[in-house]
């Protein structure tokens, strides 16, 4: 189970859930998720994505970077 320990983690989880709900809503309403952000730089092409995908990635990164790091367990030495 995922529990938020801080307000920052609560916001990050909110981004993840909100993005997922947005994609699910598109899938139910249209039968597919509408991706509309398409980035190119010369011949390089990033896969097309949408705002909900951005929220999911930012929220997940936020959870990872704000997670408390526990010190290594010394009892195994």
pLDDT tens digits, 38-53: 999 999 998 899 999 9
* pLDDT value at residue 66: 83
Domain count, the chain: 1
Predicted pLDDT at 9: 86
42 within some domain: yes
Q: Is 26 exposed, middle or buried (0-12, 13-18, 19+ CB in 10 A)?
A: middle
Domain of 32 in residue numbering reads as 18-68
Catalytic entry in 38, 53, 73, 74: 53
Report if residue 26 sits inside a domain.
yes
Catalytic option among 35, 38, 73, 74: 35
Question: Is residue 40 in some structural domain?
Answer: yes
Is residue 35 among the annotated active site residues? yes
Q: Is residue 3 part of a domain?
A: no
- The pTM of this model reads 0.77
Longest dimension (CA), the chain: 56
* Residue 8 belongs to some domain of the structure: no
């Amino acid at each position: 189970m995922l529990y938020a320990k801080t307000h920052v983690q609560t916001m990050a989880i909110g981004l993840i859930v909100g993005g997922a709900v947005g994609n699910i809503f598109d899938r139910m309403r249209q039968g597919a998720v509408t991706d509309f952000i398409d980035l190119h730089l010369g011949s390089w092409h990033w896969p097309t994505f949408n705002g909900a995908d951005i929220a999911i990635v930012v929220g997940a990164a936020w959870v990872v970077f704000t997670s408390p790091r526990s010190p290594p367990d010394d009892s195994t030495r």
